[in-house]
Structure formats: C-alpha cells, structure tokens
A and B are shown apart, each in its own frame.
Chain A
Amino acid sequence: MSSHDHSDDGKMVLAHDAVAGYRPVFLVAITIGILYLAYIFYKTL
C-alpha cells in the first residue's frame, strides 16, 4: 500500500483508447503466439 500525494491537481485517469482495426490484429497475433508456444512446449516434452 503505497502512500500517495492526494492533491487534486491533474488527471485522475489516462485511458488508452483503441484505434479502429487493431483489436482483431491483436487477437490474431495473440492466438498465433499461444499456438506457437504450445507447439514448442509439446515438442520439448
């Protein structure tokens, strides 16, 4: 539990808005990555 300066100046949240079209790219990349790692893991058994 870190102590923080609770002064009120400044933003409370800095959100990172999605850029259109990148969510499917991310999902495809993560799927390929997981499948690749699973294959490597299987081969090392």
Chain B
Amino acid sequence: MINALPPATIMILGALPMIFLKGKTKGAWMLLLPILSFVNLLAIPEGSHWTFGFLGFEVVLAKVDRLSLIFGYIFHLVAFISNLYALHVEDRGQNVSGTIYAGAALGVTFAGDMFTLFVFWELLTISATFLILARRNKAAISAGARYFMIHVAGGLCLLAGIIIHVQTTGSAAFGYIGLDSLASYLIFIGVGVNCAWPFMHSWLVDSYPEATITGTIYLSAFTTKTAVYFLARAYPGTEALIWIGAGMAGFPIFYAVIENDLRRVLAYSLINQVGFMVVGIGIGTQLAVNGAIAHAFNDILFKGLLFMTMGAVMYRTGKIRATDLGGLYKSMPWTCTFCIVGAASISAFPLFSGFVSKSMVMEAAANGDMRFIWFILLFASAGVFHHAGIKIPFFAFFSHDAGIRCKEAPRHMLLAMGLTAFLCIFIGSFPQFLYKLLPYATDYNPYTPSHVIAQSQLLFFSAVAFTLLLLAGIYPAEMRSTNIDFDWTYRKGSRWFYNACDRLFNGINAFGDRVFMQELPKALARFARDPAASLQKHGVRLLAEATGDERPLAKRLADTEHRTKFAAYPIGGGVLLAVFFLGVLSLFYILF
C-alpha cells in the first residue's frame, strides 16, 4: 500500500483554498504546497499506481520512473520558486491558476495512460489562459483568446490521435508511440503545438510577454517542457524531430535580435532553447536524450531566472522595452547580478548550468556525424549568447542611461532570483548531481579541455562581434515596431476567411430568407386563397403561350376566376383530370 496521493493532487486541490486566504496566510500556504507535494512525491515508489478500469480501459493516475521523476522534481522546484516570486500578488485568480497550472504539469508528467494525460493536458491550457488573461488589458485578453484557441485546436488534434491510437492498438497506456500511423502523426502534431514548433510557435511569443509579471514565470516553465517530456517518452529517435529542433534553434535568433520588448526576446529565446531539447530527443541516443532532459531541467531554471529579472524590472519601472530602459544597474544591482548569472547560464559559460547540458546535445550530434545539425546548433549557441546573454542585461541594466532611478526588487523576488541563480551556478559547477537524476546512467564529463576551449572561443568571438558591431554603428537600432511573424498569416488569413464565410453563408442565408420566407409564402398564400382558380389560371396562361392564342388573356383569366367561384368547371378539364388519375392508377397496377 502506498502512503501517498497521486502526484498532481496536492497542488491542484491545495490551490483551491487560496480563494479564501489572503496576506501572510496565503503566502505561507503558497510556499507550503510545493513542499508538501514534493514530500508526497518522494513517498511514491517507482512503477504504476492508482490504476482502475474505466470504459474497458486501464486508467493509471501515476506511473513513476526516472524520466517522469526528473520532470517531477524540477516542476516542484520551479513551482516553489514561482510562488515565492509571486508572494506579493493579491490576485486570487493568478495565485490559484498558477498553482493549478503547476499541478496540471505534474499530472501530465506522471500520467500512465493517454486519457489521464489528455485531461491534465487540457487543464494546463485552461490554467495558462487564465494566467495570460489576468493582466486584464486589451492586448492580454486578445493574446489569451488566441492562446486558448490554438491550444484547443492542438488538443483536439491530440485527442483525435489518442482515440484512433487506442482503437487501433486496444491499449490506452502512455509509452513509446513512434511515427508510423495516422494516429501517431495526429498526436505528434498536437504535441508540436505545445512545443512551439516552427509555424506553430507564434502563440508563445504572442502570449507570454502579454501575461502578468508573475504569470510569465509559470508559463515559461511548464507548457513547452511537458511537451518535451511527452516527446522524450513517446517519440525518442524520431528523425523528423532533429530537423524540427534545428529549425527551432535557428530561426528565433533573427527575431530576438530585432525585437524591442525584452520579455518577447526571452520568448524567442525559449523556442531556441527548446530546439536543442527537440534535437536531442530526435537523435535518440542515450547521451542525446540525457542531454535533452538535462537541458530542459536547466532551461526551466535559467529561463525562469531571466524572466524573473525582467519581471522585477517591469515591476519597478513599468517598462520593458529596450528603447525605454538602460542604466538600471545603479538602482537594481542585485537584479542585475542575477540577470548576468541567468545570461551566463543560457549562454553556456563554463561553470554555469547551460554548459553542462547543451554540450551533451552538441556532443551527441557530433557523435552521430550530423555535421549540418551540429553547425546549426553552434550558430544557435552564438545567437543565444548574443540575444539572451548580452542583449538582455546590456539593454536593461547598462547601455544608454534612461535616467530611471527606482528601488531594488522586493525581498521575496530577490530571494527567488537568488535561489535560482545559486542553482544555475551549482549545477554548472557540480553537474554530477543533475546527471544522477537523468533517465540513463552516464559518466559524461563536460569539463574536457576541448569542450571548454571550444565554448570559450565561441563566447569570446561572439562578444567581440557584438562589441565591434555596436561601436562601428552597424548594430541595428532598437525600435518600437511590429515584427511580422507567422501568426500574421492566420491573423490576417482568419479575417479573410471570416469575410469569405460571412459573404458565402450570409449570402445563402439572405437568399433563403428572400425565397423561402418571403416570396414562397406569398405565392403559396395567393395560391391557397382559391387553389382551383389559381391552377386553372396557370393552365390558361400556359395554354395561351403554347398555342399562340392571341385572345385577350386578362378577360379569359377573369372568366376562369368567375367560373370557379360557382364551381363551374369546363367538362373537358374534369375529364382530363379523371383520365390522368386513371392512367396513374393503371400504371401502379401494372408495375406493382
């Protein structure tokens, strides 16, 4: 017997009392929940638990193995850090949805069957939408609505795939799927939406920067990483993922360089980093999958740290554009320091966390003789150093002094950032603690001379390039502008589609209204006033046209109408009708 609850239970049910709590009590509860949930997780042994039958299928609320455990650990850790960072928030909607969101991510991570997984997958979407909407301005509401629609579409794709998969295989168990059937492709695409693959990525850069300051911290940690977890379990070694991941690692760099909103720069950077993970899963070797998972673990921390520092800047100054910021190191020295730690980690400086995981994926690509992929990853490494490693701290804290003098970030925010920064350095300096948690046992050593020298060269020359570009006046100016991304196609396209549908269906509706609701009833009403006269008059008209009878038609019609009032029908007409009906009856008799 297990003396524990299913892993997601404490976070999800424990979030509900937050509706009634406030002040320090609520703060204490927010911090206590992830700790309680983590202790509960530690009490669950490896294997499948809480299984029961439902509609003929086996529902498994928790399947605990090394892959799910490492995601479980980091999700608890980041939930604690995010809640610590959000202690000042007295918006119950945000508090509750943030914690439920973390719980839903745990639900996905430990789901042993596809139906359980789908339920938590959708809970993830709903709670994330509330985190975006919580900012309560026009941009956030629009972005939240778009986020919801895109993820519901992705969720339906996933559900369709799951249903076909379960029907085909007869099993709802969540495990390796591979890419070999319609169901597997549908599931693959459904997950791809959450993973922000190229052409499906726009929701991320659209919505994350529009969410609340604290909401973005939660958002950066869970949705894409649960998708990475899904891919690692269901599609390791799928070659398509190598190319998809390479695309993800490469293209956001160009957008991040020209973007002015620093939280949006980080959103592009997030896609770039997830690209490394997707490549690792696509390569599928033990080293590559370990690298992908380790990088997911580290990315949650350093990307969260960068979002937290930018959130603190936004909290104190109300600004987040590079054009409006600069010189903040004087007012916010601690935040600046933590930002530099996050920047060094994401840039994979030796002794910082990104170095010990990114190099695993790069090494796996090199071992597989994937030179082109390796080159793209190298380019992406230089790019991420430029936009996240340099651009973020440089334009927020140094660069041109914008003259803003503000207070340092609140203490709880500094604590959250400090704890995360410590973990980034600790993991970078002692990677074996992280490696012990990975799905496959490894003796990988990132601190070989070739690794360290190669990465140091890359970083050094990237820094030189940035400095020279800036001093030579070639570096592009920061501008407040709208950068066209792929969502342009569906935002404009959906408007055109709406207009086309509006014209087509409302045109059919108007036609139907005119014909069937106006003209036809009028004609029927006219006919029904005196059906016999109407029929005869119609016959007279047809006869006159057919025979070319030139006698005045109006008089003949008036005569016909007059006769029918007294039921004085022409004998020939009655005989004709009788013959017609007899003919029909005879035909029926002969045929049947």
Contacts and interface: CB of A to CB of B under 8 A. Distances in A.
Given A3-B206, A26-B472, A10 B139 contact: no
B478 A13 contact: yes
A1 interface: yes
A16 interface: yes
B162 to A, nearest CB: 32
B472 A10 contact: no
Contact of A5 (B139, B464, B471): B139
Interface in A1-45: 1-5, 10-19, 22-23, 25-27, 29-30, 33
A10 B323 contact: yes
Given A26-B469, A26-B471, A12 B491 contact: no
Contacts of B475: 16
Contact of A10 (B395, B473, B480, B481): B480
B473 A16 contact: yes
Q: Which of A10, A11, A14, A22 gathers the greatest number of chain B CB atoms within 10 Å?
A: A14
A1 B472 contact: no
B525 interface: no
Contacts of A2: 205-206, 209, 259, 261, 264, 482-483, 485, 487
B488 A1 contact: yes
B400 interface: yes
A22 B20 CA distance: 61
B477 interface: yes
B468 A13 contact: no
A17 B473 contact: yes
B139 A3 contact: yes
B477 A16 contact: yes
Nearest to A27: B472
B576 interface: no
B525 to A, nearest CB: 54
A19 to B, nearest CB: 5
Nearest to B469: A26
B429 interface: no
A19 B483 contact: no
A2 to B, nearest CB: 6
Contacts of B469: 26
B324 A11 contact: yes
Interface residues of B, number: 43
Contacts of B210: 3
A16 B482 contact: no
Contact of B479 (A13, A18, A19, A22): A13
A41 to B, nearest CB: 11
Nearest to B400: A14
Interface string B453-490: 00000000100100011111111011111111101100
B480 A12 contact: yes
B321 interface: yes
B404 to A, nearest CB: 11
B143 interface: yes
Contacts of B202: 1
Contacts of A25: 468, 471-472
Contacts of B330: none
Given A1-B488, A1-B491, A10-B324, A29 B261 contact: no
B375 to A, nearest CB: 11
B471 A1 contact: no
Interface in B234-260: 259
B468 A1 contact: no
A1 B323 contact: no
Nearest to A10: B324
Nearest to B486: A1
B324 A29 contact: no
Given A14-B477, A26-B471, A1 B487 contact: yes
Nearest to B324: A10
A6 to B, nearest CB: 8
Interface string B438-464: 000000000000000000000001001
A26 B471 CA distance: 9
A7 to B, nearest CB: 10
Interface in B29-88: none
A38 B411 CA distance: 52
A27 B474 CA distance: 11
B396 interface: no
Contacts of A15: 477
Contact of B261 (A4, A18, A26): A4
Nearest to B399: A14
A3 B472 contact: no
Nearest to B472: A26
A22 B468 CA distance: 7
B471 A22 contact: yes
B26 interface: no
B321 A10 contact: yes
Nearest to A17: B473
Contact of B480 (A4, A27, A29): A4
Contact of B472 (A5, A11, A23, A33): A23
Given A10-B323, A12-B479, A19 B484 contact: no
9 contacts: A1-B483, A2-B483, A5-B139, A10-B480, A12-B479, A13-B477, A14-B326, A15-B477, A19-B471
Given A1-B485, A13-B480, A19-B471, 18 more contacts: A1-B202, A1-B482, A1-B487, A2-B206, A2-B209, A3-B206, A3-B482, A11-B480, A12-B479, A13-B323, A13-B477, A14-B477, A14-B479, A25-B468, A26-B472, A26-B474, A29-B464, A33-B461
| The 6 residue pairs across chains A and B that have the minimum distance between CB atoms | A18-B473, A22-B471, A26-B472, A1-B488, A14-B478, A10-B324
